[in-house]
Chains A and B, each alone.
Chain A
Amino acid sequence: MCSDGDRRGGALKGGSGLRTLTLQRSLLAHNQTLAADLRRRFAALSLPVVNLLASPGAGKTALLEALARRCGGEGVAVIVGDLATDLDARRLRQAGLTAVALTTGQACHLDAAMVQRGLEHLDLGSLQLLVIENVGNLVCPAAFDLGEGRRLVLLSVTEGEDKPLKYPALFQSADLVAISKSDLAAAAGFDAALARQHLQQVAPQAAVVSVSARTGEGMAALAAALGLSADRGR
């Protein structure tokens, strides 16, 4: 016998021993539940949390190092994901930041469960900002909510102006886009106006800043957008 309904959202129907169970449930349901838990936890502490996303080599770690040079690393922690090695975490610690390395092995993105494990190594109550530096990838991390308050996506000038059009899902999820390595724009033949036009098309909701970790251009604006004041720390 088959029941015609299901309290937990599944509906059964069928005969001849086979049943069709209709669920219409997200494959990411588990991640979404965990992410919602994280978001509540961060909100209870009024802790701003930024999910930092970009392709490999776009300058995610360098940007955080530059922020630490500018604002001091005190009160700022980074959970950093990498397929292998903890090189990025070591760089971040050298820059004065608290860093927790998540070595993802084969996974091409961070998920909420990994972030939850990373939090075990942090005293959240002492933080003013938590940055989750995602695995370098413009595709997969877009789908995984980490409980962050905001998404910061980097577009480095060496990648080209077309990346927002080619990887729209990630850019559409951005709250803030930083065009990084702006000191190399001329050498790379980067057309900043065209890049901004593409961002406007794909991600009109996102604020856009142009930054250089090397020269410091735009870093004050980025620090302010992240809620860090320049006169903190050193």
Chain B
Amino acid sequence: MHELSLLLALAEQVQAEAQRHGAIRVLAVELRIGSLAGVDADALAFAFPLAMAGTAAADARLHITWLPAIARCRRCGHRFGVAGGVGPCPRCHRHGADLLQGRDLHLHSLTLDP
């Protein structure tokens, strides 16, 4: 739901990096986003050109790598994939696992020209 505000923050970071590295254009922006981060792929794709307008990344392609949610059981240490909420451990069936990955919202890389 807050995709546009995330992308406006991204636009600032991208513009700053492009300037710092003397790039004229940013050709591609790669994000790594966890499956439980609460952002929607379609909303990101829709808002991306709006947020990047007027920056060096105005014509950049957006790549999103989705990271699966992974939890670790606090009792037995078993690591398991999570869909939706963190449920009981599939090995020891206890509740209480920590999410190791899944809420990530990261700017992974930029492709700069030159």
Q: How far is the CA of A201 from the CA of B103 in the complex (A)?
A: 18
With A31-B9, A140-B2 in contact, is A12–B38 under 8 Å at CB? Answer: no
In the assembled complex, how far is the CB of residue A100 from the closest CB belonging to chain B, in whole angstroms? 21
**Nearest B residue to A31, CB-CB:** B9
Chain B binder among A13-21, A47-55, A88-96, A224-232? A13-21
Q: Does A169 contact B (CB under 8 A)?
A: yes
Q: Is the CB of A23 within 8 A of B109?
A: yes
Instruction: Find residues 1-35 in chain B having any chain A CB closer than 8 Å to their own CB.
Output: 1-2, 4-6, 9-10, 12-13, 17, 21, 23, 27, 31-32
A22 — which chain B residues lie within 8 A by C-beta? 108-109
**A12: chain B residues within 8 A (beta carbon):** 21, 112
Q: Are B17 and A143 in contact (CB under 8 A)?
A: no
Q: How large is the interface on A (under 10, 10 to 19, 20 to 34, 35 or more residues)?
A: 35 or more
- Across the interface, do A17 and B109 meet the contact criterion of CB distance under 8 Å? no
Docked Cα-Cα span, A28 to B12, in Å, equals 11
Complex Cα distance A26/B1, Å? 18
User: In this complex, what residue of A is CB-closest to B2?
Assistant: A140
- The reply to whether A23 and B113 form a contact with Cβ atoms under 8 Å apart is no
Task: Judge if A103 is at the interface, Cβ distance under 8 Å.
Answer: no
**Residue total for B at the interface (Cβ-Cβ under 8 A):** 37
Closest Cβ of chain B: how far from A136's Cβ, in Å?
Answer: 12
Quick check: is A187 within 8 A (CB to CB) of the other chain? no
Q: Which of A135-149 contact B (CB under 8 A)?
A: 137, 139-140, 142-143
CB contacts (< 8 Å) of B21 on chain A: these are: 10, 12, 19, 21
Known: A21-B21, A29-B13. A109 touches B114 (CB 8 A): no
Q: Which residues does chain B contribute within 8 Å of A29, judged by CB atoms?
A: 13
Chain A's closest residue to B7 (CB) is A27
Beta-carbon contact of B106 and A26 below 8 Å: yes
Whether A200 pairs with B95 at a CB distance below 8 angstroms is yes
Provide the residues of chain B in CB contact with A201, threshold 8 Å: 85, 87-88, 95
A143, B105: Cβ atoms closer than 8 Å: yes
Can you report 13 A-B residue pairs in the complex whose CB atoms are below 8 A from each other?
Answer: A18-B27, A23-B13, A23-B108, A24-B108, A26-B105, A27-B13, A106-B4, A143-B103, A168-B85, A169-B103, A201-B87, A202-B85, A204-B96
